[in-house]
Structures are given as C-alpha cells and as structure tokens.
Amino acid sequence: MIRDLPRLFVLHRHADVTGRSGIGVVAVGVMFADGKAVTRWRGVTTGVHQISVWESLDEVEAIHGHDGNTEIVWLDQTDIADPVDQS
C-alpha cells in the first residue's frame, strides 16, 4: 500500500551555525513507515558523504536541527491514491 512506502525528504539548512556544513540542501533522506530514517550527507563543503540510520526524525532534528536553522522538507507526494484502498 502507498502508506507503507518510504517518504523522501531533504534537510534544508537556513543558517550554518557550525561553519562547516554550508546552507541549502545539506542532506537527503528517507523515512520508512515504522518511523526509522536514513540520511546521506551531500558533502558539498566537507567532502563527507556519511550515511546514518536513525530511530526517528526526532533524533535527526535533535542532532542536526540547530535550533530551527535546519528544516525537513518533504519531496514525495502524499496525496497519491492507493488503488488497494479504493474499493
């Protein structure tokens, strides 16, 4: 079913409080139906393309949110009709 598919997102940084990661889209990610997430850093300013697995997006925000300077922007469509659910 559509609701069981992973959701795509990016981490968009408005201000670089550390002076290392830059601004704009700094990472891409996916969140699974069970709430776990994976991020991959773009490495534009550092050359580091680290992949991390998280228990939840709350963890991602706690570590990389920088007090609201980084936001999660969803890239997928959530309004796609699920043919299985249309009966």
Q: What is the pLDDT of residues 5-52, one digit of tens each?
A: 899 999 999 988 888 878 899 999 999 999 999 999 998 888 889 999
The answer as to whether 86 is a domain residue is no
Number of domains in the chain: 1
The answer as to whether 20 is a domain residue is yes
pLDDT value of position 77? 63
Return d(Cα 80, Cα 78) in angstroms, integer: 6
The answer as to whether 38 is a domain residue is yes
pTM for the structure as a whole: 0.79
Return d(Cα 31, Cα 38) in angstroms, integer: 7
The answer as to whether 87 is a domain residue is no
Return d(Cα 76, Cα 10) in angstroms, integer: 10
Its domain, for residue 64, covers 2-78
The answer as to whether 32 is a domain residue is yes
In sequence order, which residues have a C-beta less than 8 Å from that of residue 8 and are 6 or more positions away? 28, 29, 30, 74, 75, 76
